[in-house]
Amino acid sequence: MVILSISITEQLVSPDVEALSHKRTTQAGSTVVAYDREDPFYCLDAMCLEWSGNGKGDYRYSPEEIKLPNNGFVSDFVYESHEIKAGFVPMKELPCAQGKEDECQSVLITLREKACNVTLTLVYTVYKKANCITRRVILENNEDSPLIIRRLLSMSMDMPNMGFSLTTFDGDWAREAHRHDRLLQPGIFINDSRTGSSSNKHNPGFLLSEKNADNSKGRVYGFNLVYSGNHFGFAELNSHELVRVGIGINPHCFEWTLKKGDNFETPEAVMTFSEDGFNGLSKNFHSFVNDNIVPKDWQGKDRPVLYNSWEPCFFKFNQGKLLSLARLSKKMGMELFVLDDGWFEGRNDDNAGLGDYSTNRKKFPFGLGRFAKKIRKMGMEFGIWFEPEMINENSNLFRAHPEYAVSQPGIESTLGRNQLVLDLCNPLVRDYIVDSVGKVLDETKASYVKWDMNRHISEFWSAHSRAGEFFHRYILGLYDILGRIFKTRPHILLESCSSGGNRFDLGMLCFSPQVWTSDCTDPALRLDIQGGLSHLYPQSTMGAHVSDSPHQQTLRNTPLSTRYNVSCFGCLGYELDLRFLTPAEKSEIKDQIAFYKTHRKTFQYGTFERLPVVSSRLENKSVWRCSSKDNKETIAGFFQTQAGVGEEADTLRIPGLESAATYRVTTRPQKLYIRRFGGLVKHLLPVTLNPDGFILRTANRFYSLLDCVENYECKGSALAAGILLNNQFTGRHYNNNTRLLGDYGSSIYTITKISS
Ligand code: DGJ
């Protein structure tokens, strides 16, 4: 018997099984194969299954491909037993979601292969609050001969097609997680990674939505994987109008040998569903990540406002320069100083040094411990960057142990950012990393680590692994290292990074409460990147920094206010050269940080929604909103990309507040700098001044205009309908009530309940 139709957990508890189950009252066509000789209507290809093997008449993509001990690929796993448990089922080597016994419930269903003594256990855990179900499988070989797994996904789910569209989050370096939607057509669509990590090319998470679903309404299904390596997700529409969805380890170059008595456990898949559109779905995922994925010590905990040395310094710094940056950042209200790349011996550019972790004494003559102490003495926390999975050929480690690098004998190794990957399948390499990183952490008493990984893997081979097991063993090695370093130092805030968001996944989030979202710090592009990721991950996980403009990645100029307005919908940080800011800019940053601290809980843990700007003709405007848990405070960001002329009035529509309650809506005060107006400034002045002359340049350093501040008092019902905002500048008549957004302009509105 093959398990049918609806979710297993529902089958076990619901009286509706018969009504919900897939019917078979006729034959599905003349070429079909009947699973049961006695029942010609029993055709697997036309049925919704909970798991499916191979060679029994189901021609869809199977979640497994196993060369069984009988040397054949035909597999037919049938029900043997099940067990219901309170709580979740811990995993041996992989990270997984966790919840208290009264918050989640598990069911384990054991299937037995009909011809071989091999079992497959389907493990489900239901997380009630987050409305998420996790799934994984455990395959166990009890035959004398080994079996070979060529594919074993974590889950497979079938349902009738509802005109589904498939949404994926794709990109590359510095343009991660852009949302793409397409109608599901007959055939198979694959969302996968083959780079060795979950990748910036295709995030593992993807969604299926029914026709007409939008941000606030309609049925949407979400899938993700608690895994940081090569992933494989697919959606297939077959000839019987059935949709199969699966997700798990990528079968690409995968081959795992399972000897007698051994078992193989897949990573955990996560599924959720909402009838309240994409926002409803992301609320489920956000709650799940915040409460069931990130390490316990960091659940719900404030993330510090940090200063990072990378963009302002790259490799060019010494202790004096860093200390002056730290002093300035402290004055503006920042809480954590992060020393990025370039602090260790030989690391003056990206050609050398990875693998060696002794302090560069030219840069830190008194050692790193003393430097960290000075930072703490200023009243800031100290954080430090590592790239522990990598090695440069020009390093002492490589000279001593060339065999530590991933490479295949007889094949020239290819470089990525001038570096090779360390072989995490090798236990000696893992010990070396745990030891050297641990020593620096203890010496500096760091309370934050940025764990970087800056290249895709090539020549994937190890003397410590069978060829087809390399990719998975690498990730198991990584999890082993992370566990050994950070489970014993739970007070350290780990921010994972892989050239930005090349490894933004639930596996890393089990160790690192936040991820450096992207190397792109241009807020115009961050709208797409953070906006895309927000479908799957909460704001508390996204590192978002204010950087210098023009931006290093795009050469675009953007207002300081917009750089902040986008970054505050995440874990706020600053990554710009504070020494060259004008006094006016310094004071603006101080105000920004004070505002963030006041509303930090709402920004980091509030309920997040992406809202359309209702009346916009052009798709150049968007609104993000997050609301405090008690809904008394909402913060909305209004963002514009390209400015238009004479567009219709902008609307701020905030659904979900109490209709009869009264709210105060206020613009967060922000500054406009004189230089933004260039030559136009002469129209405002009684005398003509050179826009780039001494007087205006000096004025720009010390003075700024206050951007238009709006104040409204209105009912929740009015906000749900959409309040109309002041006009934007249209080329004529500047006054204090005109919103001067221009290209990439934005404003933040706070909406506070003042009476019921
Ligand atoms: C890539 C990261 O994404 C950057 O933020 C920075 O840490 C560099 N690596 C340092 O090499």
pLDDT at 448: 98
Cα 452 to ligand 1 centre (Å)? 7
Nearest to 306 by CA among 522, 78, 547: 547
Nearest residue (by CA) to ligand 1, atom 10, is 341
Q: Is the CB of 310 under 6 A from ligand 1?
A: yes
- The share of the chain scoring above pLDDT 70, in percent, equals 97
Is residue 302 annotated as a catalytic residue, yes or no?
no
Cα 165 to ligand 1 centre (Å)? 35
pLDDT at 648: 80
In tens, the pLDDT along 61-107 reads 999 999 999 999 999 999 999 999 999 999 999 999 999 999 999 99
pLDDT at 167: 98
Strand (E) or helix (H) holding 600: helix 600-605
Identify the band that residue 617 occupies on the pLDDT scale cut at 50, 70 and 90. low
The best mutation among 197, 308, 310 to test binding of ligand 1, ranked by most ligand atoms within 8 Å of the C-beta, falls on 310
Residue 61 is which amino acid? Y
pLDDT at 9: 47
Q: Is the CB of 385 under 6 A from ligand 1?
A: yes
> Which atom of ligand 1 lies at the shortest distance from residue 340's CA?
7
Is residue 519 annotated as a catalytic residue, yes or no?
yes
Cα 19 to ligand 1 centre (Å)? 55
Strand (E) or helix (H) holding 698: helix 694-702
For β-strands 336-339 and 231-237, DSSP reports them as: unpaired
The DSSP secondary-structure symbol of 647 reads P
Cα 581 to ligand 1 centre (Å)? 23
Nearest residue (by CA) to ligand 1, atom 6, is 310
Nearest residue (by CA) to ligand 1, atom 1, is 499
Reported pTM: 0.96
User: Among all chains, which residue has been given the structure tokens 């105060």?
Assistant: 664
pLDDT at 618: 66
Q: Is the CB of 454 under 6 A from ligand 1?
A: yes
Answer whether residue 175 shows pLDDT above 60. Answer: yes
Cα 361 to ligand 1 centre (Å)? 22
The DSSP secondary-structure symbol of 143 reads S
Name 15's Cβ contacts closer than 8 Å, sequence gap at least 6.
none
- Mean pLDDT within 407-414: 98
Nearest residue (by CA) to ligand 1, atom 5, is 519
Nearest residue (by CA) to ligand 1, atom 9, is 499
In tens, the pLDDT along 321-347 reads 999 999 999 999 999 999 999 999 999
**Helix, coil or strand: residue 139:** strand
Nearest residue (by CA) to ligand 1, atom 2, is 499
Q: Is the CB of 452 under 6 A from ligand 1?
A: yes
In tens, the pLDDT along 526-558 reads 999 999 999 999 999 999 999 999 999 999 999
Catalytic residue among 519, 528, 548, 707: 519
In tens, the pLDDT along 426-435 reads 999 999 999 9
Cβ proximity of 485 and 438 under 8 Å: yes
| pLDDT, averaged across the chain | 95
Nearest to 603 by CA among 573, 560, 640: 573
Answer whether residue 733 shows pLDDT above 90. Answer: no
Name 507's Cβ contacts closer than 8 Å, sequence gap at least 6.
94, 95, 198, 225, 226, 227, 228, 229, 267, 475, 479
Identify the band that residue 615 occupies on the pLDDT scale cut at 50, 70 and 90. low
Strand-pair partners of 432 = none
- Mean pLDDT within 747-752: 98
Q: Is the CB of 449 under 6 A from ligand 1?
A: no
